[in-house]
Amino acid sequence: MTLGVVVLTMGDRERELRALLDSVAAQDGEAVSVVVLGQGSALPDLPAWVEGVELPENLGIPGGRNAGVAWLRQHGGVDVVVVLDDDGLLPGTGTLQLVREAFAADPRLGIVSFRIAGEEGLTQRRHVPRLGASDPLKSGPVTTYLGGGHAIRMSVIDEVGEFPAPFFYAHEETDFAWRALDAGWDIHYRADMVLRHPRTEASRHAVYYRNTARNRVWLAKRHLPAVLVPVYLMTWTAYTIKQRPPREGLTAWWSGFLEGLRTPCPPRKPIRWRTVWRMTRLGRPPVI
């Protein structure tokens, strides 16, 4: 079970990136292929065993991951792609071996979501991919995964397609997860596979409110049965208003929402009703 690691960077976290790469090098088991992609930026000096690719422009998170997957394919291919944030760190040396064992043991396992923990070892509520943010130390099947640290079987990408590049940032994981679930693959959250990551808020990104709203609309238009689209969008609108974002944030959110309604983001391929039921049984129907 061969692994390839993809890391995206803007070139402004040289110290954190080096610490991440050191933690990858310290992993048990056979060596892995690692490619670091600079998103329209120059790369710092990298270890000799790491490949660096400087993209001509910032392709966004899904576009950058697509470029990383393409690089791995062109250089021999791997069985599983591991994606890690450039300011993350693997505190345990057995994490990638756990990834190998998980995928080798279950041929229908398509995606593994790591547990993201802050420096103090605690996991933020938004980093638990279950409704209600139940016990972050509980592993099990889920309906989505965490972008900062995850692993995807390459054959899942072969079957369901690339990450949605037009999304640029926000909800690209949910889009891919829904397609994987609809194709019959399983997604597991593994509390024992830990990525240490600084405690942050998603709203730190300037495009957070606008892209979150726009991509929610695109997600619904692309993948939900028609009758569920308005239910999903009304649910998220109510949730957003309840969170009382700042005035500037709410203005950007409505701008993104209207942009999502006005503009297409093909292709449209609604998930099957049996997938809706499967997600409901897993605790997260695709209207919440």
Rounded to the nearest integer, the mean pLDDT of the chain is: 94
Q: Give pLDDT, residue 124.
A: 82
Segment 188-206, tens digit of pLDDT: 999 999 999 998 766 555 5
Q: Would you say residue 156 has pLDDT above 90?
A: yes
Q: What is the pLDDT of residues 9-25, one digit of tens each?
A: 999 999 999 999 999 99
Q: Is the pLDDT of residue 162 over 60?
A: yes
Per residue, what are the HEC states of the chain?
CCEEEEEEECCCCHHHHHHHHHHHHCCCCCCCEEEEEECCCCCCCCCCCCEEEECCCCCHHHHHHHHHHHHHHHCCCCCEEEEEECCCECCCCCHHHHHHHHHHHCCCEEEEEEEEECCCCCCCHHHCCCHHHCCCCCCEECCCCCCCEEEEEHHHHHHHCCCCHHHCCCCHHHHHHHHHHHCCCEEEEEEEEEEECCCCCHHHCCCHHHHHHHHHHHHHHHHCCHHHHHHHHHHHHHHHHHCCCCHHHHHHHHHHHHHHHHCCCCCCCCCCHHHHHHHHHCCCCCCC
Q: Is the pTM above the cut of 0.85? A: yes
The better pLDDT of the pair 230, 76 is held by 230
Percent of the chain scoring above 70 in pLDDT? 97
Amino acid 57: pLDDT: 97
pLDDT digits (tens, 9 = 90+) for 72-84: 999 988 999 999 9
Higher pLDDT, 123 or 57: 57
pLDDT grade, residue 126 (50/70/90)?
A: confident
pLDDT value of residue 225: 98
- Pick the range with the lowest mean pLDDT from 16-20, 35-39, 86-90, 249-253: 249-253
Q: Is the pLDDT of residue 92 over 70?
A: yes
Residue 158 clears pLDDT 70, i.e. is over it: yes
Position 208 pLDDT exceeds 80: yes
**What average pLDDT does the segment 48-52 reach?**
97
What's residue 84's pLDDT?
98
Mean pLDDT of 227-244: 94
